[in-house]
């Protein structure tokens, strides 16, 4: 997955640099700068997405706690002594 992301970013940046008229020496430094910029943008987007999903999960867990399910049912006043002995 990361390889696909890196490959995609590299292709986009290379196309962008080829379309611009820059010197060969400047292309390498610009390529490095743009790769870093694009990766930082994707890292920020992924971090935001992860934070949003964590918040959604917390809200879902809070909502589930409001409802009574069969998992919440516990045996309360049960006795191990047979009824006829009481």
Write down the H helix ranges in the chain: 2-19, 24-65
pTM of the entire predicted model = 0.63
Tell me what percent of the residues of the chain surpass a pLDDT of 90. 40
| Residue 20 DSSP one-character state | S
Does residue 36 fall inside a structural domain?
A: yes
Q: Quote the number of domains for the chain.
A: 1
Query: Tell me, what's the pLDDT at 85?
Result: 55
Does residue 86 fall inside a structural domain?
A: no
Do the beta carbons of residue 43 and residue 69 sit within 8 Å? no
Q: How far apart are CA 28 and CA 25, in angstroms?
A: 6
Q: Which domain holds residue 41?
A: 1-52
C-alpha angle with apex 30: 26 to 32, nearest 5 degrees? 125
| Residue 68 DSSP one-character state | -
Give the model's confidence band at 50: pLDDT under 50 very low, under 70 low, under 90 confident, else very high: very high
């Amino acid at each position: 997955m990361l390889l696909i992301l890196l490959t995609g970013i590299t292709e986009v940046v290379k196309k962008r640099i080829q379309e611009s008229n820059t010197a060969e020496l400047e292309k390498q430094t610009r390529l490095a700068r743009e790769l870093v910029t694009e990766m930082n943008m994707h890292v920020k987007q992924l971090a935001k997405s992860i934070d949003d999903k964590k918040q959604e999960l917390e809200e879902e867990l809070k909502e589930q706690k409001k409802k009574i399910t069969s998992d919440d049912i516990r045996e309360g006043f049960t006795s191990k002594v047979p009824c006829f002995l009481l």
